[in-house]
Amino acid sequence: MFTRHSAAAALALCAFIPALMQDSIGSTAFWPPPVRATAAYPIRQDATQWLGSNLVGAPVVSASNQNIGKVANLVINEDGAIEAAVIAVGGVFGIGRKDVAVTYKSLNIVRTQAGDGIDHVTLAAEKGDLRRVAEFKTLRQQRNDKTARRRDDVTPTAVNLTPPL
């Protein structure tokens, strides 16, 4: 009789083990994320490839050759593909500057005469068009804005400090 109850208890426990091993949040993501294995080690840049260090800082001009700004940063997805370029529009020494993101496919990148660098980037948009676009916000800026809004939403509560009679 005792062994029958022990076997039933062990069987019930085995049935619940997968449920007990699940994360309470329901997420299967691990931290830190697993390292991706690589089997490729490129040894040289191809003529059809750009270096990010050449693209960041490159001057941006409109189709009418109007100076728009400079490439300030790149937005890269988890697969390593460039999805957008952040363009710093206007400003002097960073004052009055506005960061605007444009899709990478909208860039027309012009190489230097030697072909080993980037001379400039051309966009179909004009400077005025980019000034009217919403400013690009990084994740850090979004988090800081959210924290500031929460802080501003907190209103002080009046407290009565007089003792009751």
Give 89-137 pLDDT, tens digit per residue.
987 776 788 999 999 999 999 999 988 889 999 999 999 999 999 999 9
- Fold of the 52-133 domain: SH3 type barrels. (2.30.30)
Q: Position of tokens 């329901």?
A: 26
Q: How many CA atoms lie less than 13 Å away from 61 in the CB half-sphere?
A: 11
With bands split at pLDDT 50, 70 and 90, how would you rate the model's confidence at 159?
Answer: low
Q: Which residue has the higher pLDDT, 128 or 38?
A: 128
With bands split at pLDDT 50, 70 and 90, how would you rate the model's confidence at 33?
Answer: confident
Radius of gyration of the chain, Cα coordinates, nearest whole angstrom = 28
CB 115 within 8 A of CB 47: yes
For residue 60, what is the enclosing H or E element? strand 59-62
CB 65 within 8 A of CB 119: no
Condensed to tens digits (0 to 9), the pLDDT of residues 55-80 reads: 999 999 999 999 999 999 999 999 88
Every domain of the chain and the residues it spans: 52-133
Give the mean pLDDT of the chain.
81
